[in-house]
Amino acid sequence: MTNEARKISGYILLTVPTIIYGGYFLLNVLSGQQEHLQLTDFQKSMFRAGHAHAGVLVILALLIQLFADHATLSYAWKWIARLSFPI
């Protein structure tokens, strides 16, 4: 893993606590502890979908860092690949 991949992976991993907090909030909403919010079933399902997508996208963004290291791209295109997916 190159230095660039390590740095960007570190920045990506900084988003993990927000995903963890989102999971905690989602668990509270789905278990009925946030009744004062008065969310519809549709809103609850969108919370669930958003949380799942966030976790998957973080994992894929980390994989892209490894793939960019091994791709035969120019230096500029590697940076575009490294940054465009997490953004």
Helices (DSSP H) in the chain: which residue ranges?
A: 3-13, 16-30, 41-70, 75-84
Q: Which residues of the chain have pLDDT under 70?
A: none
- Is residue 39 within 8 A of residue 26, CB to CB? The reply is no
Residue 82 CB: number of other CB atoms within 10 A?
23
Q: Cα(84)–Cα(67) distance, rounded to whole angstroms? A: 13
pLDDT of residue 67: 92
Identity of residue 24: Y
pLDDT of residue 76: 92
**pTM of the full structure:** 0.74
